[in-house]
Amino acid sequence: MIDGRLNQEFKQREAGTFRQLRAAGSDTLLLYANGHSLGTATRSHGYARYLTGWNSANQPAAIIMQQSRRPVVYVPNIFMKFLADEYYDNLDVRFVPPTCFGTTVGQHINDLVGKGGKVGYIGRNESTFAFERQLTGECTSVEFFDFERSVDALRTIKSEYEICQHRAAAELCDRLFALAFAEARSGKAAFQIQADLQREALYSGADFCTTWITAGPVADYSRFLPVECRRIPQDNDQYVVGIMLLYQGHWGHAIRMGNLGAPNRAQSDAFDTVTAMHDAMFAHIRAGAPIRDLQEVAEDVLTTRAPAGHKIFKFRFAHPLGHSYADPLPDGIQPFPQQYEQGPVYTGDFRLKPGMLLEIHPNFFAHDYAGAAIGDMVLVTDDGLEPLTAYPRQLLLL
C-alpha cells in the first residue's frame, strides 16, 4: 500500500499539475507509460512514478487523471491488475485485453470530455502505433495536446521526500563500487562482475540496475553487454565502472575508476584531465549560476589538456536526475548535448536552483592513448552543493 507521506506528495504534485492543465483549457490528462524495465531508454516511466507511483515493470499502461479523482490505470496484462489490487490502493487499475487497449482508453476519454474536448497527453512519443491508431480512431473529435513540458517545470526542484530517496540510491551506488573494485582481481570476466553488481542492487531493493565496466590498457568507451565485457581485468588495465540504478522510482548514477597496477603516463594524464574537468564543474555549481557554465568550463579544460593527435570520443558531461534517468528541464532545454549527435549548443540563461539534482560525469576517451570518466550525484543547495555519492574519487590502485 502507498504510505501516507507519499500520498501527500502525490496530492501536491496533482495540485500543481492541474493548475497548469486548467490554464491550458483542460481538466483531463492522459499518460501513456512504460514500466521500469526499459531503464534509461524511457522517460514516460518517470512521469508515471512522479504523478501516481505506478510501475508496470515490462508492460505498458495508460493512465487517465482528473483532479480529486483516483487515477484510472488501464493495463493489458492481468498480472499487473493483481499487483495493483494488493499494493496500489491510490489507483483504480483495470485490465483490458491487448487487442482493444487503445479503443477502451479512447472510449473512456470520450465519456469524460465529450465532443470537442481537450486532453493533455504525456508519453505519446513512447506509445505504440497500434495504441495510437485505436485511440485516435475512437476519439475523432478530441483535441490531444502535448503536456510534458508543463509537468517538467514542476519536476525540476526535488522535495525532501525525493532527496531522501535519491540519498538511498546514492548509498547503494557506493556499495556497488566497493564490490566492483573488490572483485577487480577476482579472476572474473567483466560481465561476471556486472552480474554480481546487479544481484547486489536487486537484493538491496533496487527496481532496476544496469552497469558498464570498461577494462583494458586503453579505456575506449562504455561497455555494457556480455559480448563486449568478456575480458578478465589484468595488470596494466584501466578499470572504469559506471552504475545506473533505479531505487523506489528514483535514479542513482555514478562513475569511478581505477588501475590494475601503477598507471602509465597516458593513463595518469587521462585521469588527471578528467579530475580537472570535474573540479571545474564543481566550482561552478551554486544557486544562481548559469547551467551552461558547467559544460563550458569542462570543455575549456579538455581543450587545453587533451592529448594531441588522437581521435577523441566523449558523451555528455552532465544531466539532471530524478524519476527519469535524464530528468527533463523546463521548456525542453538541453544544456548538456550528446556531442556525437551534433545537436545545437545551449546558449540560454537557465540558472541552477536549490533542490536541483544533477549527475556530473566529465569524460573523454582518446583512441590509442587512454580514457577516463568520473561521475557524481550532486544536489544544488542554498550555499553551494552537496555530493550524494561518497565513494573515493581518486584513481584506485588495484
Dump the DSSP string for 5-32: HHHHHHHHHHHHHHHHHHHTT-S-EEEE
Task: Over range 84-91, report the average pLDDT.
Answer: 96
Q: Where residue 180 falls among pLDDT bands split at 50, 70, 90?
A: very high
CB 69 within 8 A of CB 82: no
2-153 and 158-395 agree in CATH topology: no
According to DSSP, residue 228 is labeled G
Give the strand order in the sheet containing 363-366: 312-313, 363-366, 370-373
Q: Which residue has the cell 592529448?
A: 307
Q: Which residue has the cell 485511440?
A: 135
Kind and range of the H or E run holding 46: helix 44-51
Statement: residue 196 has pLDDT above 90: yes
Calculate the average pLDDT of the chain.
97
Residue-wise pLDDT for 293-345, tens only, equals 999 999 999 999 999 999 999 999 999 999 999 999 999 999 998 989 988 88
Q: What are the structural domain ranges in the chain?
A: 2-153, 158-395
Percentage of residues in the chain having pLDDT higher than 70? 100
Residue-wise pLDDT for 106-117, tens only, equals 999 999 999 999
Identify which of 191, 157, 177, 341 has the alpha carbon closest to the alpha carbon of residue 253.
177
356 by DSSP, 3-state: which?
A: coil
Statement: residue 356 has pLDDT above 90: yes
And the C-alpha cell for 309?
Answer: 593527435
Residues, the chain, total? 398
Bridge partners of residue 256, in order along the sequence: 241
Q: Supply φ then ψ for residue 308, to 5 degrees.
A: -75, 145
Q: 10 Å Cβ neighbour count for 94?
A: 15
The pLDDT of residue 3 is 79
Q: Provide the Cα torsion 188, 360, 368, 310; round to 10°.
A: 170
**E strands within 260-375?**
312-313, 318-320, 357-360, 363-366, 370-373
Is the pTM above the cut of 0.75? yes
Pick the CATH number of 158-395 from 3.30.70.1450, 3.40.50.300, 3.90.230.10, 3.90.550.10: 3.90.230.10
Q: Where residue 29 falls among pLDDT bands split at 50, 70, 90?
A: very high
And the C-alpha cell for 60?
Answer: 505498458
The pLDDT of residue 1 is 67
Q: What distance in Å separates the CA atoms of residue 232 and residue 243, rounded to the nearest whole number?
A: 19
CATH number of 2-153: 3.40.350.10
